[in-house]
Structure 1
Amino acid sequence: MPVQHAYQPRRTPLRPNPRRLIHLTIGTIIVLFILLLIPRHSSPRLPKLPPALRPFRPSAHAPPIQPNSTSGDARWHQSWDWLRPFSSAITLDEHRSVLPPLVERVPIYTYYDSESAGGAETEEVLNQILLTWRRAWWAQGFRPVILGRAEARRSGLFEGAKGKGGGEEVLRWLAWESMGGGILCSYLALPMGAFEDPVISYLRGGRFGNLTRFEGLGGGLYVGPKEGVREAIKAALAAPEISKVKEISDVVPKEMFKIDATPSSIAYYAMDVVKAKYPKIAEELPISTSKGMRLLNKLINSHLHNNWRTHFSDGIAVLKPIRTHMTAIVEPAVQLAEYLAQCPSSPIMSSCPPNNKNCKPCVAAAPMRISTPPIFRNNSKLYTIGVVPHPWTTTSSDAFTTAIDVPFIRRRSNRDHWLTLVTKELLGTGVSTSPRLVKFKEAVASPYGAAHSVWFTAEKEYPSDIDWHFGFLVPRQSTHDGKSQTPVPGPERRPADPARDPLDGVLPSEKELKKERELLEYAKMMGTTPEQQRLIRAIEAWNLGDVEAWRFARAFMARRSMERRGWEEEERWVTGGKGSEK
C-alpha cells in the first residue's frame, strides 16, 4: 500500500518548561532596561500625518457671514469653490448654501429727458418703454442705467457745449462721458439674440478699446472708452454744423470711429424703421404720440417673447421625476410653461423685429410643445423648468400618505430619490450622490444653465418678478389655441387628441389630484411642532443629496431676486422712478 503524505502534518505543541520560562523572563527584563537607558532626545520620531488624515484634529472656524447673504429662510455663502457637492464642507453650516460669486454686471446707458417728453400721458408711455428696455437688457446680464440732464451737467465739457446747439444728442454724449464711457444705447434698441450670442457676449465683457459704432444701427448703439468719447465730443463741438446734426457720428472725422458689421442680435426701432416696417404704428404717431408709442411698446414686448420662443424650438420641459403622484407639485410650473408657450398679444400679428425679417411668426394652431419628462436633458434647444421639492414633500408624495415616521423613512423610502431620478440620463444608475449634485448645481447656477432653465422650490410659488428673468412681460392668463372643432352632432368626426408622450406619465384622477394637493399643503405647513421638526431632521439626514439640491435652488433664486430688488431701489432713488414698475 503506497504511503500517503499529509497536506498539513500534525504539529507537536510546545510545552513550556521551567528553563524556557526563565530565559523569556530574563530577556524581557533586559529589553526594558535598555529602553529605559536610551536618552529621550534620541528616541525615534514618526512622521506626522497630514491634517486631512487626522481624525482628532482641531475643528476650524466657520467662514465669516457675508453681507447681504440672507433672504427669508434662504442663506448662502459666495465662493469660487461652489461646485463642491456639499456646501457644509465650506460653510460648516448645513443650512447655508455655497453659490457662485455674483458676476459684476456691465452697465449699459441710455438717455432720457422727461422735460422733452411732451405731456404727462406721453411721459407715462415712455416710462413703460424704458421699463421694457431695462427688463430686456437685465435678462441678458447687463445693468441698465437711465441717464439724464444731471449726468450731462456733471461732465467737464458741459460748459464748453453751452450755446453751440446739438440739443439732446450732445447732452446724451456728455452724460455718457461723465459715466466713464462703456455702452451707450437708445431705449429703442433691444437685445433680440440668445444669451450666448457673440455680439451680446462681447458687450457683456465690458472691454472696449476703441470708439465703435455698428453698421445699420445709426445712433442706436455705441461702445468705447472715456478718452474716445471725450475726443469725439470735442471734435463735434468744434464742427460748425453741430447745431443741425441728429447724430454726433455724422460730424466727427470718420477715423475716430471703428465701424463693426450690423449685429443680427440687436433690434433698433428707430422712427424711420417704424415708418418703413410698421405703418400701422407710424400712422398713429402723428395723431396721438402716446397711443402710437403704446402700440410700439406692445409690439416690442411681443417680439421679445416670440424671439425667446424661437430659441427653444424643442419646447419647454417641466421636470416630473415621480411619475404617479407629482402632478400637484409641478402645477405652477406647467402653468408658467403654458404662459410662455402661447403666442404673445401684438398690434401687428405675424410681424418680425427689425433685425430679423425672416423670423418665424407665432401661430396659435401650432403651439410650443410642453413636456413633463422624468429626467433633465442638456439640450440647448429645450428650456427646462425645475421644481425642487423638499425631501419630506418627495417622500409623502411618493408614499401618498402623511403617516410617515422614522422607521418608515429608514426602511421604506428611497434615499435621494428626486436627485437620482433627475440625473439618471446624464449619469446613469451606478453613481453616488456627489457627482449628481455637481451636475445639478451646474444646471442651476452656471451662466449657460441659468440662461436655459429656471428652478424654484415646490413649497413656494415662483417669484412675482419672473418677467425680469425672461426679459419680457410674461402673460398671466392662457389664451385659446386657435383650433376649431366640428359642430355637434358629429363628435366621431372630431380629430383625435394628440398622443401623449410616455415619458409624461399618467394623468391622475380628480380624487388623486385632490389628495396630491392636500399632501402638498401639509408639506408647506410641516415643521411647526417639535415632533414634526424631529421628523424633518430625520428625513433630511436620510436624504442629504435631495436637501442639498433643495437648499441650493432656494438660495440661488432668493439671491437673484434680492440682487434685482437692490438695483431697483438704487435706480429708483437716483432717477426718481423712471422706467420702474408702478
Structure 2
Amino acid sequence: MPRRWNPCSYLPRRLQIVASLTAFVLLCILFLGTSSSDATVDPYIDQVPFGPRLQAGAHQVVDSLPKLPKELPYVNTPQWLNPFRGPAHTPPPEQANSSSGDTRWYSDFKWRNPFSSSVTLDEERALLPPLKERPPVYTYVDSAGRTKDEKSKAAEQELLLIWRRAWWASGFKPIVLSREEAIKNPHYSTVQALELEPELEMELMRWLAWGRMGTGILCNWLAVPMAAYDDALLGFLRRGEYPTLTRYDGLENGLFVGTKDDVQKTIKAVVSLPAITRVKSLVEAVPDGTFEVDNEHSGVAFYSTSTIAAKYNAIKVKLDKAETLPDGLAMLPPLINSHLHMTWQNTFTSGIAVLKPLPAHTTSLIEPAIDIARNLSQCPESPIPASCPPNRPKCKPCVSSQMVITTPPVFRNTSTLFTIATVPHPYTLNALLHGRDQLDTRFIRRETVRDNWMLAATKELLGTGLSSYARLVYLKDAVASPFGSSRSLWLNAETPRHADNTQDRDELDFLFGFKIPRDPMPNGQSETPVPGPERRPPRPKTEFGDGPSLSKEELAKEKKLLDKARLFISKAERGKGRKSGKKGQKDPFTSTKDVVEAWNLADAESWKFVRAWNARRRVERRSWEAEEEAFLGKGVIDRWMDKII
C-alpha cells in the first residue's frame, strides 16, 4: 500500500507539534468564535455578553465608580483600582505645638535635607531640627513675713526677670520655687520641728524645694550665666547629666548641681546631725565628701553680698544703710544687665555684620536689621560704667562706637562675628530688583534669575560651582545648628521688627539674654535706660557690599515696592486653600506665589525654613511662660511677678 503524503513530515518533531497546535487554534477561532443570526440558534445564547456589549458594560461600571479629587491630576480611576500598584508614602503625623498662624513645621533628625517636602510630603511644612530639651535650673524665693517698700519689691522683680532671661538665652528652663514646693517634701515636717538658725533654715527651705522637684540645678537668683554660649561650664550644665552632687568653690551657695536622690540624702544627713542647731550653713553641716568641689566656674557670675562689698562700693554704701537700701537694690538690675550686654559685646570682637546680598536695591530690606545692630552695639546704661562682671575682672568696658557694623554682600562663617541676615521671599526680592509691583508667570520664567539670593549670599563661602540646592544644607546649618544659632540672627523680610512692638522687643531680649537698649520714642518720651546721643552708634560705614547711595526718591520707591510685596505675600498666605470661583482654580495671589516659589526652589526653601525656625522659637518661649504663669501669686504673699517694671 503506497504511503500517504504528509506535509508536516518534512518538519522536525517539535515544529510539527507547534504547527499542529497553531492550526487547531485557528480552526477554533474560525468556526467557534463567530456568531450566527439564524433563528434556530438557542435563544439563551443572546443573553451572554460578548464583543461590543461586553466593552460597553465595562465602561458603564468604570463610569459609576466614585470620582477622585481634582487635586490629584496625575491619578486616574483605573490606576487607583489597580491591585498591583506600588505602595505610597504617607505624610508624617502632626506634632504638638507645630504651627503658628500660617506657619507649620515638623521636627526630625533629617532636618539637613535640602528640601523639607522630601520628608514632610508637604510644600508648606518646613523641616526643623528636633527641639532640644532644656535642663531645669531652679531658684528659691520666699517673701512671706517680710515687709518691703515698693521700690525694693520692684527691684527684686526686675532681678528675677534678669535671672530668668539670662538662663533661658543660655539654653536652660528657669523655674522659680517657693515655700509651697518645700512643704511637699517628705523632710519638711522634720525641719520644722528643729530650732535652726535663720540662715540655715532658709538654706534648707531651698534644698527642700529642690528635692521636691528633682534632678537639676539649684541657683541663687543673683547668679546668672555670663559667658559665650559654648562656654565649658554652660555646655556641661546643658547636658543635664550630673553624676555627683557638686558645688563650685568661689560661688559660695550660688550654684549646686545633682540628682534628686543625692539631694534627699544630703537633707536627711543634715537634719540628723546632733549639733544642727548651732550650724549656720548647709555646706558646713554636711559630712566631708558629700560634695565634689569644682573650681572652674568662670561661666557664672554671682552678685553675692561679699562680691558687691569687694567690687562695687557705690552699691555697698547704699545697701549698708536702711534709708538708702531701696536705692542700692535699684542699682543692681541695670548693673547686671550692663554686664550681660558687655560680655556679649566682648564675645564678638569682630563686630556685627548685617548681610546684604544684591545690594543695589535692598537698602530698605535690611533697615530693621540695621536698627537691631545699632541697638546691640550701643553702650548700655550702668550705675558703674567702667565696672566688670565678677567672673571677668579683665573685661573691656564699652566705649562709644566700639563694635563695628558692616554690611557685607556675603555670609562669613566667623566665630567672632555676629551676623544679622534678612531672608526675603523670592517674590519680594524680584519685585525690588526689577522695580515691579506685579510679577506674572511669563516675566518670572524669562526675566528673572533662579535662586538669586542664595547664590549671592554664599558665593564667598562655597564658591560659584556648587548648585543652589547643595547650598541649602550650609545655610540651614548656619541658621539652626548650635554653633550657628548662637552667632547669628535670621529674620524674614516680610515680618519686620518695629521699635514700638513690645512682643518683638521681649523676643529679642530673651534671645540675647539681656535688655537691649531702645531708641528714644518719636513722641519725645523714652524708656529706661535712656541712651544719650553720644552713646548711639552711627550707621554702618559703607563697604563694597553696601551698594550705591540711593536718593530720597529712589529710597521711597524701594520702600513702596517692599510694602506692596509684603501685602502680596500676606494675601497669598491668607488665600491658601481658597478657590477663586472659576472652575476650582486657586486664589490668584496664591497661584502667583506658587509659581515664584517653583521657579526659585532654594530661595523659597530658605525663606520657609527661617520663618518656621523663628515661629517655633516664639511658640516654645510662650508655652514655657504659660506654664509658669499658673504659679504667679499662688500660695505666697508677694510672690514674684514676671513683668517689666
TM-score range, shorter chain: 0.7 to 0.9
2:572 paired with 1:572: no
| Counterparts in 2 of 1:280 and 1:242: CA distance versus 1, 3 Å | farther
Q: Tell me if structure 2 keeps the 8 A contact 1:117–1:123.
A: no
2:643 paired with 1:581: yes
Alpha-carbon displacement from aligned partner over 1:131-189 (angstroms, at most 9, x marks no partner)? 00000000000000111101101111111111322321110011111111321000000
Secondary structure, counterpart of 2:144 in structure 1? helix
Matched to 2:123, the amino acid is E
Q: Which is worse superposed, 131-140 or 432-441?
A: 432-441
Q: Which is worse superposed, 186-195 or 528-537?
A: 528-537
Matched to 1:571, the amino acid is E
Matched to 1:139, the amino acid is A
1:352 to 384, 388, 410: 388
Q: Residue 232 of structure 1 corresponds to which residue in structure 2?
A: 266
Aligned-pair CA distance for 1:581: 2.3
Q: Residue 430 of structure 1 corresponds to which residue in structure 2?
A: 465
2:505 paired with 1:471: no
Alpha-carbon displacement from aligned partner over 1:239-297 (angstroms, at most 9, x marks no partner)? 35544544311221221111111411111000111111111111122333332112101
2:590 to 533, 544, 547: 533
Q: Residue 288 of structure 1 corresponds to which residue in structure 2?
A: 324
Q: Tell me if structure 2 keeps the 8 A contact 1:415–1:543.
A: yes
Aligned-pair CA distance for 1:481: 6.1
| Counterparts in 2 of 1:537 and 1:129: CA distance versus 1, 3 Å | same
Alignment of 1:272-311 (within 5 A): 272-285=306-319, 286=321, 287-311=323-347
TM-score in terms of structure 2 length:
0.78
Q: Tell me if structure 2 keeps the 8 A contact 1:167–1:243.
A: no
2:355 to 305, 314, 319: 319
Aligned-pair CA distance for 1:237: 1.8
Where in structure 2 are there 5+ consecutive unaligned residues?
1-10, 23-84, 498-503, 521-530, 573-586, 634-638
Q: Residue 407 of structure 2 corresponds to which residue in structure 1?
A: 372
Q: Residue 115 of structure 1 corresponds to which residue in structure 2?
A: 144
1:266 to 278, 292, 300: 300
Matched to 2:622, the amino acid is R
2:222 paired with 1:193: no
Q: What is the alpha-carbon distance in structure 2 between the residues aligned to residue 103 and residue 354 of structure 1?
A: 30
Q: Tell me if structure 1 keeps the 8 A contact 2:406–2:541.
A: no
Q: What is the alpha-carbon distance in structure 2 between the residues aligned to residue 198 and residue 579 of structure 1?
A: 32
Q: What is the alpha-carbon distance in structure 1 between the residues aligned to residue 554 and residue 402 of structure 2?
A: 29
Q: What is the alpha-carbon distance in structure 1 between the residues aligned to residue 261 and residue 280 of structure 2?
A: 22
2:98 paired with 1:84: no
Q: What is the alpha-carbon distance in structure 2 between the residues aligned to residue 95 and residue 59 of structure 1?
A: 20
Q: Residue 135 of structure 2 corresponds to which residue in structure 1?
A: 106
Alpha-carbon displacement from aligned partner over 1:435-470 (angstroms, at most 9, x marks no partner)? 211111101111111111111200112434110000
Matched to 2:266, the amino acid is A
TM-score in terms of structure 1 length:
0.86
Q: Residue 609 of structure 2 corresponds to which residue in structure 1?
A: 552
Q: What is the alpha-carbon distance in structure 2 between the residues aligned to residue 116 and residue 330 of structure 1?
A: 53
2:449 paired with 1:449: no
Aligned-pair CA distance for 1:498: 9.6
Q: What is the alpha-carbon distance in structure 1 between the residues aligned to residue 251 and residue 387 of structure 2?
A: 20
* Structure with max Cα Rg: 2
Alpha-carbon displacement from aligned partner over 1:498-522 (angstroms, at most 9, x marks no partner)? 9632233233221111111101100
Q: Tell me if structure 1 keeps the 8 A contact 2:355–2:408.
A: yes
Q: What is the alpha-carbon distance in structure 2 between the residues aligned to residue 118 and residue 526 of structure 1?
A: 57
| Counterparts in 2 of 1:434 and 1:441: CA distance versus 1, 3 Å | same
Q: Tell me if structure 2 keeps the 8 A contact 1:63–1:91.
A: yes
Q: What is the alpha-carbon distance in structure 2 between the residues aligned to residue 140 and residue 567 of structure 1?
A: 15
1:61 to 68, 86, 90: 90
Q: What is the alpha-carbon distance in structure 1 between the residues aligned to residue 448 and residue 146 of structure 2?
A: 64
Q: What is the alpha-carbon distance in structure 2 between the residues aligned to residue 523 and residue 303 of structure 1?
A: 41
Q: Which is worse superposed, 224-233 or 355-364?
A: 224-233
Q: Tell me if structure 1 keeps the 8 A contact 2:357–2:545.
A: no
Secondary structure, counterpart of 2:630 in structure 1? helix
Q: Tell me if structure 1 keeps the 8 A contact 2:247–2:255.
A: yes
Aligned-pair CA distance for 1:64: 1.4
Secondary structure, counterpart of 1:256 in structure 2? coil
Q: What is the alpha-carbon distance in structure 2 between the residues aligned to residue 240 and residue 123 of structure 1?
A: 38
Aligned-pair CA distance for 1:401: 2.0
Q: What is the alpha-carbon distance in structure 2 between the residues aligned to residue 335 and residue 423 of structure 1?
A: 24
Q: Which is worse superposed, 158-167 or 435-444?
A: 158-167
Secondary structure, counterpart of 1:324 in structure 2? helix
| Counterparts in 2 of 1:117 and 1:384: CA distance versus 1, 3 Å | farther
Matched to 1:570, the amino acid is E
Matched to 1:184, the amino acid is L
Q: Residue 482 of structure 1 corresponds to which residue in structure 2?
A: 534
Q: Which is worse superposed, 284-293 or 211-220?
A: 284-293
2:330 paired with 1:330: no
Alpha-carbon displacement from aligned partner over 1:357-384 (angstroms, at most 9, x marks no partner)? 11100011x4211111111111000001
Identity of aligned residues (%): 44
Q: What is the alpha-carbon distance in structure 1 between the residues aligned to residue 466 and residue 443 of structure 2?
A: 25
Q: Tell me if structure 1 keeps the 8 A contact 2:356–2:545.
A: no
Alpha-carbon displacement from aligned partner over 1:511-561 (angstroms, at most 9, x marks no partner)? 111111101100111054843333212111100111110010000000001
Q: Tell me if structure 1 keeps the 8 A contact 2:410–2:457.
A: yes
CA RMSD of aligned residues (A): 2.4
Q: Which is worse superposed, 84-93 or 419-428?
A: 419-428
Where in structure 1 are there 5+ consecutive unaligned residues?
1-25, 38-55, 485-496
Matched to 1:198, the amino acid is A
Q: What is the alpha-carbon distance in structure 2 between the residues aligned to residue 163 and residue 205 of structure 1?
A: 38
Secondary structure, counterpart of 2:399 in structure 1? coil
Alpha-carbon displacement from aligned partner over 1:210-264 (angstroms, at most 9, x marks no partner)? 1111110000001112222122212222335544544311221221111111411
1:248 to 272, 282, 290: 282
Residues matched between the structures, number: 524
Q: Residue 3 of structure 2 corresponds to which residue in structure 1?
A: none
Q: What is the alpha-carbon distance in structure 2 between the residues aligned to residue 562 and residue 271 of structure 1?
A: 37
Q: What is the alpha-carbon distance in structure 2 between the residues aligned to residue 546 and residue 57 of structure 1?
A: 33
Q: Residue 155 of structure 2 corresponds to which residue in structure 1?
A: 125
Q: What is the alpha-carbon distance in structure 1 between the residues aligned to residue 612 and residue 491 of structure 2?
A: 9
Aligned-pair CA distance for 1:116: 5.0
Q: Residue 161 of structure 1 corresponds to which residue in structure 2?
A: 191
Matched to 2:97, the amino acid is N
Q: What is the alpha-carbon distance in structure 1 between the residues aligned to residue 275 and residue 339 of structure 2?
A: 37
